[in-house]
Amino acid sequence: MRFVQVIDCKTERFDDMDRLMDEWVELTKGSRTATHSLIGKDRSDGSHYVEIVEFPSYEDAVANSKLPETDRIFQEMVALCDGTPTFTDLDVVRDEQLNQTLSRRFFHEIAVGGNLDAIGEVFAIDYADHDIAKEEDTVIGSGRLRDDLIRWRAAFDFSFDLDRQICEGDDVVTLWTWTGTHKGDFMGIPPTGRQCIMTGTTVFRFRDGRIQEGWWHEDVMGLMRQLGALD
């Protein structure tokens, strides 16, 4: 079970503390077990800071605390604080990546499931789309996305396998495998009945709970080859 430690402290010397954190990161390369560290500053009290450190398990956190570099840096950090920091130990019982969930909703519910009315719930109205397969560098408007999906769904019966998703900040990166059966006209190619496979990567950038921008990189040449257009 993943484990999170919340460290609460007050200090007027955050720059020095930040320098110590950089030093700890450098010194513990290859030995630390912490996987993620986030520090927040209290908007109502400029000297109040909260650090959230994530570990694969409680046992990994214990091992991390026993590193000599961790102990030394921690003692120096305590000396910079106004009073003794407080610690809260948490076992992670639920971890919901909301942007990731919304991204999956596009692939499964909208693109494959055909619920095009949900586009307005998932995408910003001024959504900006970048696709290497299109002549235009950028297409603005979620309505154009709807039109694209209508064309793809008319040309293929298809599904998406989401091979991997990576979330960082406002971005969700999805590596996917698309499998489709060619049933209708596609870019001037009459239906062949062939089953085709295409791989690609999509980056969605979120703002205010909706997808604001998207970048698509897909193997369209490979798809055209499978359809016989490049024979």
Q: List domains and CATH numbers for the chain.
A: 3-91 (3.30.70.100), 98-226 (3.10.450.50)
What is the C-alpha separation between 105 and 114, in angstroms, rounded?
Answer: 11
Cα angle: 172, vertex 173, 176; to 5 degrees = 130
What is the per-residue pLDDT for 231?
63
* Alpha-carbon span 231 to 228, nearest angstrom: 5
Q: Cα separations (Å) of 171 from 97, 148, 156, 174, 199?
A: 11, 22, 28, 10, 20
CB atoms within 10 A of CB 196: 19
Question: Which pLDDT score is estimated for 181?
Answer: 97
Inter-CA distances, 162 with 123, 156, 201, Å: 19, 18, 10
Contact 223, 196 (CB under 8 A): yes
pLDDT tens string for the chain (231 positions)? Answer: 899 999 999 999 999 999 999 999 999 988 999 998 999 999 999 999 999 999 999 999 999 999 998 889 889 999 999 988 999 999 999 877 889 999 999 999 999 999 999 999 999 999 999 998 887 778 899 999 999 999 999 999 999 999 999 998 899 999 999 999 999 999 999 999 999 999 999 999 999 999 999 999 999 999 999 999 876
Q: Retrieve residue 70's tokens.
A: 């961790």
